[in-house]
Amino acid sequence: MNKIFCQICNSQTIYSKNTFYRHLKNHNITMKEYYDKFIKKEDEGKCLHCKKPTKFTSFGQGYRMFCSYKCSANHSNTKKKKENSYLKSLGVKNPSQSKDCKEKIKRTCLERYGFGSPLQSNEIQEKREKTCLEKYGVKNYASSKEYRKYKEQNGEWLSLKESSRWKIYFLEVWKETNKWKKILFENWNGLDYYTGEKLISNEEFNKLNPHKHPSNNFLQPTIDHKKCIKYGLENDIDPKIIGHISNLCICSRSFNSRKNVKMVEHVGIEPTS
C-alpha cells in the first residue's frame, strides 16, 4: 500500500490514504483542509450539473461530482450512459419505449384498474382535478398561471402580450401569402424547392397507398416562407414582404416541419414557417 508524502513537513510518512489523518494531527489540520490546500484541482468541489458546492468524500476520492441525486440523473453524461445501456439491452433509448415494457404496464393497469392506462380511470382523473383545483384554482395544471410563468421563464412560451403580437403578424403574412397561392402552384415544377425531390399530392398518395391515411404522406407539397414568419416578426419586416411570392416556395411537409422554427406560444394557431 502506498504511503503518503506529507507536503507540510516535506517528509515521507508511514501512513496510507486511510490513516494519513493520524499524521495530520501533528499539524493540527484536517484531511479536507490538507486536500484543499495541496491536492484539490481547479473546479473540483463544484457540481458538474448546477455548479453548486459538493461534499468532500475522503482523502482518496476527493469531492463528489454532483451535489444531489437529481443533478446526477439530469446530467448529460448520465443520460447518455443510460441511453447507451438501454440501447444495448433493449434496443431503445428509454425502457418505456420497449414493447415488452408497454405491454407489462398495460397488463398491470388492466388488472389493477380495469383500464389500459391509470389515467383512463374516472377516480384518478377526479383526484387529479381536485388536487389541481386546491393548489392552482384550475382543473388542469397546464391552465394555471404557475404553468404559464414556468413556460415563459423557460423560453418555451411567449408572454400574452407577445403572443397577441405574433398572432396579428401571422395573420397579416398569410393574408398576403394567400393572394399568391394560385400563381405559385401554377408555375411550380413539382419538385421540392430545397431537396429537388418529386412531391406527391394527397390524391396521388391515396391512389398509391389506399390503406394509409394522408397524414403518412411526408412528401405532401406545402407552402414555405424562405425567410420565416418568426424572422420577419423579430426584425420588424413588413408582413407583405414575408408573404410576397418572391419569399414563397413549395417543399415537402416533412422538410417544412424540420425547417419550421419552433414558436414558443400556443396561441390557437399552429406554428408555421
What is the spatial distance between Cα 40 and Cα 224, in angstroms, rounded to a whole number? 56
Residue pLDDT, tens place only, 14-36: 888 888 889 999 999 999 999 99
Residue 241 · residue 232 · CB < 8 Å: yes
Q: What pLDDT is stored for residue 270 in this prediction? A: 40
What integer pLDDT is reported at residue 259 of this predicted model?
64
Q: Which of 56, 31, 60 is nearest to 45 (CA)?
A: 56
C-alpha 97, offset from chain centre:
17
For residues 249 and 257, give the distance between their C-alpha atoms in angstroms, rounded to a whole number: 14
Residues 6+ apart with CB under 8 A from 168: none
- 3-class DSSP assignment, residue 140: coil
Task: Provide the residue ranges of all domains of the chain, joining segments of one domain with +.
Answer: 5-67, 75-113, 121-156, 160-259
- The pLDDT assigned to 121 comes to 66
Residue 142: the pLDDT is 65
DSSP result, 191-241:
B-TTT-PBP--HHHHHHH-TTS-GGG-TT-EEEEESS-HHHHHHTT--HHH
For the stretch 172-206, what's the b/e string if a residue is b when 16 or more beta carbons lie within 10 angstroms of its beta carbon? bbbebbeebeeeeeeeeeeebbbeeeebbeeeebe
Residue-level pLDDT at 43: 85
**Is residue 33 within 8 Å of 26, Cβ to Cβ?**
no
Is the separation of the CB atoms in 258 and 239 below 8 Å? no
The pLDDT value recorded for residue 143 is 66
Return the axis-axis angle of helices 122-136 and 145-153, rounded to nearest 10°. Answer: 80
Return the pLDDT at 34.
Answer: 92
- Listed as ranges, residues in the chain with pLDDT below 70 are 1, 90, 92-93, 95-97, 113-121, 135-136, 138-139, 141-143, 150-152, 154-162, 259-273
